[in-house]
C-alpha cells in the first residue's frame, strides 16, 4: 500500500473499430468450419478487420482523439503516451510515437509501447498510475490497439476464428478532487507457459553464420491449454482481488472482462454471482481484439447506455505471456 499518492482520474475513454465485417459464414469460404461450431464454442458471430492501408495506428489514433475530446484536455496537456499492442503494424517506431505525431502531441513527450497482449490496458493503467501517483507526470494518454488480422495464419482455423481488430483509449490525469478512480489494480505474469500463445519474429541467420530458413511469422496458439489455464485461474483471481480491495462482489456495479471466449466470461460471472445486466459482452460482434478488448467494451457499453456512469466496474484480462490483471475502477460522469 502506497501512502500519500496523488489520486488518478479516468477523464475520458474512446474506441474505434474498422468497418469491414467478416462473419462466421464468410470464414467457411476459407476452411472447413461453421457458424454453429464457432458460436457455441466462443460466442463469436462476426469480427471487424482492417482493410487497405488501415492499421492499428489509425484505429488507435481515432480512439485516442475521442478519449481526449471527452477528457476535456488538449494535446498540449498530455505528458506521456503509452500504447499497448500485441499485433502492431510495425515493431518500431512504437505505435505510441506514431500516434503522438498524428495527434500533434508535443514532440518531447515520452511515448512508448508495451507488450502484455490482452492484459495490455491494465498493465498500461498500472504504469500510468505509478507515474501520476509519484507526481512525475500529470496526464497520460493510454491507447490499446491491435490489427491481429494481418498476423494470423488464415489457414489455421483454430486461431483465426477468434481474433478481430480494434482500438480503445483512455486519458488519465491527476485527480483534482481527491477521489482516486483506480480503487485497486493488480498485474501478473507467468512466463513459464509463454509458448501457449506466441507471435514469432524468428527471421533468419546472417548467411555468414549458418544457414537457417526463414520461419513463418504468425500468431500461434494452443487454444485448449489457454482455455484450461484461464478457466482455472481467472474466476478465483477476480474473486480474490475484490476481497483484497476490502470489497464484496455485490458492491461493484459491472464486470468488464477481456472478450476472448464467452464461456470464460460466464465462468467469472458465475463466480461473482452477477446477473447478465452487470456483465459487458460484445464478443459476438468483434471477437477477441486483444489489447483493445477491455477499453473497447468499456467505451462502447457506456456509449450505448448499457453501463451507467457514476458507477464502479471490475476490469479483468489475460493474454499471451501469459499475463493477466484486474482493476476496480470508478466510471465518472462525462468520460464517454
Ligand atoms: O486472448 C487470447 C486468449 N485465447 C483464448 O482465450 C483461447 C481459448 N481457447 C478457446 O477458446 C478454444 O480452445 C478454441 C475455441 C480456440 C478451440 O476450441 P476447442 O474446443 O479447444 O477445440 P480444439 O482446438 O481442441 O479442437 C477440437 C476439434 C479438433 O478436431 P478433432 O481433432 O477433434 O477431429 C479441431 O480440428 O475441433 C476442430 N476444430 C474446428 N472445427 C471446426 C478446430 N477449429 C475448428 C473450427 N471449425 N474453426
CATH number at residue 141: 3.40.47.10
d(CA 202, CA 324): 25
Is 118 one of the catalytic residues? Answer: yes
**Beta-ladder partners of 221:** 197
**Residue 245 domain boundaries:** 1-336
**Beta-ladder partners of 314:** 255, 328
Is 258 one of the catalytic residues? Answer: yes
pTM to 2 decimal places: 0.96
Q: Specify the residue with its C-alpha closest to ligand 1, atom 14.
A: 223
SS3 331: strand
> Which atom from ligand 1 is nearest to the alpha carbon of 226?
8
Rounded to the nearest angstrom, the distance between the alpha carbon of 158 and the centre of ligand 1 is 5
How many residues make up the chain in this entry?
336
- How far is C-alpha 34 from the chain's CA centre? 27
> Which atom from ligand 1 is nearest to the alpha carbon of 34?
47
Question: What is the per-residue pLDDT across 307-335, written as a single tens digit (0 to 9) for each?
Answer: 999 999 999 999 999 999 999 999 999 99
For the cut 50, the answer to whether the pLDDT of residue 149 exceeds it is yes
Mean pLDDT of 12-22: 98
Is 102 one of the catalytic residues? Answer: no
Question: From the candidates 97, 258, 282, 316, which is the catalytic residue?
Answer: 258
Percent of the chain scored above 70 by pLDDT? Answer: 99
For the cut 60, the answer to whether the pLDDT of residue 161 exceeds it is yes
Which residues touch 154 (CB under 8 Å, ≥6 apart)? 30, 160
Mean pLDDT of 269-284: 97
The pLDDT confidence band at residue 216, using thresholds 50, 70 and 90, is confident
The pLDDT confidence band at residue 212, using thresholds 50, 70 and 90, is confident
Mean pLDDT of 204-229: 89
DSSP state of 288: B
> Which atom from ligand 1 is nearest to the alpha carbon of 159?
16
pLDDT at 13 (0 to 100)? 98
pLDDT at 2 (0 to 100)? 53
Does residue 157's CB lie within 6 angstroms of at least one atom of ligand 1?
A: yes
Mean pLDDT of 21-41: 97
Mean pLDDT for all residues in the chain: 96
Mean pLDDT of 14-42: 98
Does residue 39's CB lie within 6 angstroms of at least one atom of ligand 1?
A: no
d(CA 135, CA 147): 34
- Positions of E strands within the chain: 8-16, 20-23, 46-49, 80-84, 111-114, 139-146, 166-174, 182-189, 197-198, 220-221, 254-257, 311-319, 323-331
For the cut 80, the answer to whether the pLDDT of residue 28 exceeds it is yes
Percent of the chain scored above 90 by pLDDT? Answer: 93
> Contact at 8 Å (CB) between 144 and 295?
yes
Does residue 226's CB lie within 6 angstroms of at least one atom of ligand 1?
A: yes
- Give how many domains the chain has, as a whole number: 1
Dihedral Cα 63, 65, 70, 71, nearest 10 deg: 110
Greater model confidence, 209 or 109: 109
Does residue 33's CB lie within 6 angstroms of at least one atom of ligand 1?
A: yes
CA distances to 191, 219, 226, 237, 325 from 195, rounded to whole Å, are 8, 11, 10, 22, 19
Which residue carries 493474454 as its cell? 319
Which grid coordinates belong to 171? 486519458
d(CA 336, CA 333): 8
Amino acid at each position: 500500500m502506497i501512502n500519500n499518492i496523488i489520486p488518478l482520474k479516468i477523464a475520458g475513454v474512446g474506441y474505434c473499430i474498422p468497418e469491414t465485417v467478416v462473419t462466421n459464414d464468410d470464414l467457411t469460404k476459407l476452411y472447413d468450419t461453421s457458424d454453429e461450431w464457432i458460436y457455441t464454442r466462443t460466442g463469436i458471430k462476426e469480427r471487424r478487420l482492417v482493410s487497405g492501408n488501415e492499421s492499428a495506428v489509425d484505429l488507435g489514433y481515432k480512439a485516442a482523439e475521442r478519449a481526449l475530446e471527452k477528457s476535456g484536455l488538449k494535446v498540449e496537456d498530455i505528458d506521456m503516451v503509452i500504447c499497448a499492442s500485441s499485433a502492431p503494424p510495425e515493431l518500431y517506431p512504437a505505435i505510441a510515437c506514431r500516434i503522438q505525431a498524428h495527434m500533434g502531441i508535443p514532440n518531447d513527450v515520452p511515448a512508448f509501447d508495451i507488450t502484455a497482449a490482452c492484459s495490455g490496458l491494465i498493465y498500461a493503467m498500472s504504469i500510468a498510475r505509478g507515474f501520476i501517483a509519484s507526481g512525475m507526470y500529470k496526464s497520460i494518454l493510454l491507447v490499446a490497439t491491435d490489427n491481429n488480422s494481418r498476423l494470423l495464419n488464415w489457414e489455421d482455423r483454430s486461431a483465426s476464428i477468434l481474433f478481430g481488430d480494434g482500438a480503445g483509449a483512455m486519458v488519465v490525469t491527476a485527480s483534482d478532487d481527491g477521489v482516486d478512480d483506480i480503487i485497486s489494480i493488480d498485474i501478473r505474469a507467468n512466463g513459464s507457459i509463454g509458448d501457449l500463445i506466441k507471435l514469432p519474429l524468428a527471421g533468419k541467420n546472417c548467411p555468414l553464420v549458418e544457414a537457417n530458413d526463414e520461419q513463418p511469422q504468425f500468431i500461434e496458439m494452443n487454444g485448449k491449454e489457454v482455455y484450461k489455464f484461464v478457466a482455472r485461474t481467472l474466476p478465483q483471481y477476480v474473486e480474490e482481488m475484490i476481497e483484497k480491495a476490502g470489497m464484496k462482489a455485490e458492491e461493484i456495479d459491472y464486470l468488464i472482462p477481456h472478450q476472448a471466449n464467452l464461456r470464460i466470461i460466464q465462468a467469472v460471472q458465475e463466480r461473482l454471482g452477477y446477473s447478465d445486466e452487470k456483465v459487458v459482452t460484445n464478443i459476438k460482434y468483434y471477437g477477441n481484439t486483444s489489447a483493445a478488448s477491455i477499453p473497447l467494451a468499456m467505451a462502447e457499453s457506456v456509449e450505448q447506455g448499457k453501463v451507467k456512469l457514476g458507477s464502479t466496474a471490475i476490469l479483468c484480462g489475460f493474454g499471451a505471456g501469459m499475463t493477466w490483471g484486474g482493476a476496480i475502477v470508478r466510471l465518472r460522469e462525462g468520460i464517454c
